[in-house]
Amino acid sequence: MRTTAVLSSVLFMGLVACGSDDGFHDAPIGEASFAATTLTEVTGFGTNPGGLKLYQYVPAGVTKGAPLVLVFHGCTQGATDATRFGWSELAEQHKFVVGYVEQPTTNNPLRCFNWAGEYGDPANVQRGKGENLSIKQMVDKLVESQGVDTKRVFAVGFSAGGAEAVLAAATWPEVFAGAASVAGVPFNCTTVYAEVSGCQKPGKDFTPDAWGDRVRAAHPGFAGPYPRMSVWQGSADGVVGPGNRTQIVKQWTNVHGLAQAGVADTVDGQKHEVWKSASGVAMVETYEIAGMDHAYPIAAGCGTAGAYVADKGICATKRVADFFGIAGGPSPIPSDGGAPSSDGGKSSPSPSPSGSASGTPKGASATDDPIAERAGSTCSMHAPGSTSGSTGAFGALLVGGLVAAVRRARRARREGWSR
């Protein structure tokens, strides 16, 4: 416990700083930033190896066979903060179940979902382990308790939560019919701590095949169809490079075997592009929100503006729900999968350390040193007194070392021994 207290003090003395959006500031860790819809905690959802928490919002009048949307918050936020996105209100109108997934500070001091593995342990990125298994167990629990439609389960997230939603779709493609990433990163951008900052900003630039191979390698025996994907990004995001939007699109159009040229239009004044299957079903879409920094976009009557939630005249929640086909939108759930095959006509490759097959950049190296690796976080780290948003060596080593020490201590207590 003493180690945890020291770590918390170090973090708040300036080693870690998260970007703000449109003048809003980060919500304090562990505090609700506004009076939100009442959520009910759900417990007893399996072994929960990732140590995540789950809260549900079930509107009155929801019937058996309703859709389920899992919502993932960003760094420094919690489940209550994620209700600002407007999913509970939309669920009231269209009668579906919402599950809010929460990352406790015992897993990550900034409550970031560990999309790049946890403290040097890549288990969270590997199907059936860590946080992704906890997410699958959450779905199973809500299917059992609320009778939701197993063919209409979706994942949506912002920032680190956006990366986690993409991770959930990649590791459990048979569970999720669709996912949406707002200011997130592609699946399996890295599991190496030294590369996390580069994944966030400016982002890595791989070929569509290389990105797609990473998804296919997550579940080599999967025969499809893969989840549909909605990708959102602010053009002025100072925390997660806007180029990540293009990279996620590359990854998921490749997985669906779609041509790289989409059909562009304008929706609520914002740039929109869509890729459809041969049967005309929208499988991948993307929005670029002009002038938006690191934020989740809402509009009047949709969500509540505040920390990392910006009124940009477009309701991401409603548009994503339309894309999923659960709120009266024009995009139905495809009955034929919508894609020609699960791998776009390619065989599923094995992960390759050289990088050409898996998309790992040449020259990249993995390490077993827990100080040199830690959880993926869409927050920037820097040394005290630094104004840079990039990862400083001092801050990286100190935070990484302290976090690894906390992690080892927790594991030791669970195994019944201590140093």
Residues marked active site are found at: 159
The encoded tokens of residue 210 equal: 């290389």
Backbone angles phi, psi at 90, to 5 degrees: -70, -35
Decide: 76 and 42 in contact? Cβ < 8 Å.
Answer: no
Distance between CA atoms of residues 51 and 342, nearest Å: 31
DSSP helix/strand/coil, 182: strand
| Contact status, residue 141 vs residue 147, Cβ threshold 8 Å | no
Please state, in angstroms and as integers, the Cα–Cα distance from residue 169 to each residue in 115, 133, 187, following that order: 12, 12, 9
Cβ atoms 72, 158 nearer than 8 A? yes
Q: Locate 51 and state its tokens.
A: 């140590």
CA separation for the pair 156, 158 (Å, rounded): 7
CB 182 within 8 A of CB 242: no
Three-state SS at 1:
coil
Q: How many CA atoms lie within 13 A of 389 on its CB side?
A: 16
Q: How far apart are CA 123 and CA 130, in angstroms?
A: 6
* Separation CA 37–CA 30 (nearest Å): 17
* Residue 276: DSSP 8-state: E
The CA-based angle 3-14-200, given to 5 degrees, is 100
**Dist. CA 175–CA 157, nearest whole Å:** 16
